[in-house]
Amino acid sequence: MSTTVDAAVAFRPRDYSLTGPDTEAAIARGLSQATWYTCPVPRKQMKELMKRSDGPAIRDTLIWFASFIVTGGLAYYFWATWWCVPFFIAYGVLYGSSSDSRWHECGHGTAFKTRWMNDVVYHIACFMILREPTVWRWSHTRHHTDTIIVGRDPEIASPRPPSIGTLLLNLFQLKSGPVAIKKLFIHATGRLTAEEATFIPEMERWKVFLVARIYLALFALVILACVWTRSILPAMFVGLPTFYGGFMTLFFGLTQHAGLAEDVLDHRLNARTVYMNPVFRFLYWNMNYHVEHHMFPMVPYHALPALHAAIKADCPTPYPSTLAAYREIIPALLRQRREPSYFVRRPLPAAE
Amino acid sequence: MADGWIDACAAEDIDAEDVIRFDHAGRTFAIYRLNDDTYFATDGLCTHEKVHLADGLVMDGIIECPKHNGRFDVRTGEAKGAPVCIDLATHKVKVQGGRVFLQIG
Ligand code: FES
């Protein structure tokens, strides 16, 4: 890896909320809704890359559903024996982790060509990962406008100095999960948090309130089923897998931006492209090509490897494996604990 | 410019099912050619965050914005759902003698 580190910038504590002094500072510095660097790609080639089709996502979704049936069926069959454990782990990862990439790609509306197919998978995946569909659609819109701009981006996973405790708890959504449930109750009563009010427009808010009520009703049904059957088994299939199967969400998700620069207008500096094995790429639907995705969000997940090939000469060297990415991320996060101004600087091709 | 019609480009400058950017008098427009060789024009910037739509994707009469995938009907300017909530202004277009003319309306 040809990455280097930089700790030269003097650190002042940042306010990562969307309503604090760093929000105003980011706007004043022209970092919000700014023009970002894009690698040159001829229009003809870009049109090919952006082309939509239903085939790859239908195939992957059928495999996805079949995997639920097989792992869930075997977990049920072996319930109350130790043999059910590996099947619940597999089921949980499908439910609580691979749903991350499904809500993401379908939220962009690029996974399928057919709109309703994107919407159906989006809503299923949102429920699985406990991300309210309207809230997260708008939060992710902001993440794309102001990627890792402090005070503007609601999706910064590791604010500096990072809390290692929070990250470890979130391996099983133990910090983010309760927050998400608390927000369901807030939304179900027809309210938004102050931060959410900064990025969800008035006309969309009724959807937030409606879906929160539906989610709570569904969870109430699961609890009722558990009481009725005097078993935790129903919750092992619906609800709990978000937690016990959520660890791959963090494992994949941290590779996106953790430890990299804040407040830059170039995705090559604040995002990672990491080569992953085919199983990971299926679970993560090619979100490991994260620089490419941020630079050209119109390109569907199945065309990201081709986009990567088209622009890689103009990008920093990709990470050869997830392990290689973590060899950088873990020391960087630990160092940011002591030295919050520290970040990993990605060398751009011209500077290499 | 006669009767408010502005000579924008050659009809062949736009590929089928594609869009180009056209700047005029300090404003920017998007001119579309659909698969059936009909031409349309709208304001050039997305109503969400002022991004040039000419970098987007034209698909079955819909322009998809390159920034957050917001969609508009190029014929009517109708915003087709989040994150675009405000319709796009449309402008009249005619093709004459192999040229595309735009009337800002
Ligand atoms: S700028 Fe067009 S959808 Fe956001």
Query: For residue A81, is pLDDT > 60?
Result: yes
Q: In the structure, what pLDDT confidence band is assigned to residue A63 with cuts at 50, 70 and 90?
A: very high
Q: What is the pLDDT of residue B105?
A: 81
Judged by DSSP in three states, B95 sits in strand
* Mean pLDDT, range A232-248, rounded to an integer: 98
* Mean pLDDT, range A305-313, rounded to an integer: 98
Mean pLDDT estimate for chain A: 95
Q: What angle do CA A232, A72, A69 make, to 5 degrees?
A: 145
Q: What is the pLDDT of residue A142?
A: 97
**d(Cα A1, Cα A321) in Å, to the nearest integer?**
11
* Mean pLDDT, range A252-270, rounded to an integer: 98
Q: What is the pLDDT of residue A3?
A: 46
* Mean pLDDT, range A148-159, rounded to an integer: 97
Residue type, A150: V
Q: What is the pLDDT of residue A4?
A: 44
Q: In the structure, what pLDDT confidence band is assigned to residue A10 with cuts at 50, 70 and 90?
A: low
DSSP string covering A233-257, please?
Answer: HHHHHTTTHHHHT-HHHHHHHHHHH
Q: In the structure, what pLDDT confidence band is assigned to residue A2 with cuts at 50, 70 and 90?
A: very low
Query: For residue A352, is pLDDT > 80?
Result: no
Inter-chain contacts counted by CB atoms under 8 A, chains A and B: 41
* Mean pLDDT, range B26-44, rounded to an integer: 97
CA of A228 to the centre of ligand 1 (A): 48
Of B82, B94, B86, the C-alpha closest to B31 is B94
**d(Cα A138, Cα A187) in Å, to the nearest integer?**
15
Give the nearest partner residue to B69 out of A51, A201, A297, using CB atoms. A297
Question: B43, B46, B85: which to mutate for ligand 1, most atoms within 8 A of CB?
Answer: B46
Residue nearest to atom 1 of ligand 1 (CA): B49
Query: For residue B1, is pLDDT > 70?
Result: no
Looking at the structure of chain B, the number of domains it has is: 1
* Mean pLDDT, range A26-44, rounded to an integer: 97
Query: For residue A7, is pLDDT > 50?
Result: no
**d(Cα A253, Cα A269) in Å, to the nearest integer?**
17
Of A339, A173, A345, the C-alpha closest to A251 is A173
Q: What is the pLDDT of residue A12?
A: 76
Mean pLDDT estimate for chain B: 95
Q: What is the pLDDT of residue A241?
A: 98
Residue type, A106: C
**d(Cα A90, Cα A93) in Å, to the nearest integer?**
5
Q: What is the pLDDT of residue A350?
A: 77
Phi and psi at residue B79, in whole multiples of 5°?
Answer: -75, 130
Reported as a single tens digit per residue, the pLDDT across A177-199 is 999 999 999 999 999 999 999 99
Residue whose token pair is 């590791």? A158
- The domains of chain A are located at 3-345
Q: State the pairing for strand pair B18-24/B71-73.
A: unpaired
Reported as a single tens digit per residue, the pLDDT across A99-145 is 999 999 999 999 999 999 999 999 999 999 999 999 999 999 999 99
What are the distances in angstroms from CA B17 to CA A292, B72, B95? Answer: 24, 14, 16
Report CB contact under 8 Å: A296, B85. Answer: no
Report CB contact under 8 Å: B64, A47. Answer: no
Residue A105's closest chain B neighbor by CA? Answer: B69
Report CB contact under 8 Å: B67, A145. Answer: yes
**d(Cα B53, Cα B69) in Å, to the nearest integer?**
10
* Mean pLDDT, range B74-79, rounded to an integer: 98
Query: For residue B2, is pLDDT > 70?
Result: no
Domain holding B11: CATH number? 2.102.10.10
Report CB contact under 8 Å: A201, B49. Answer: no
B 33-52 residues with CB below 8 A of A? 49-50
Structure tokens at B30: 């998007």
Q: What is the pLDDT of residue A98?
A: 98
Model confidence, pTM: 0.94
CA of A317 to the centre of ligand 1 (A): 30
Judged by DSSP in three states, A8 sits in coil
What are the distances in angstroms from CA A223 to CA A85, A220, A235, A240? Answer: 22, 5, 7, 11
Query: For residue B3, is pLDDT > 70?
Result: yes
* b/e burial code for range A238-252 (CB count within 10 A of at least 16 → b): bbbbbbbbbbbbbbb
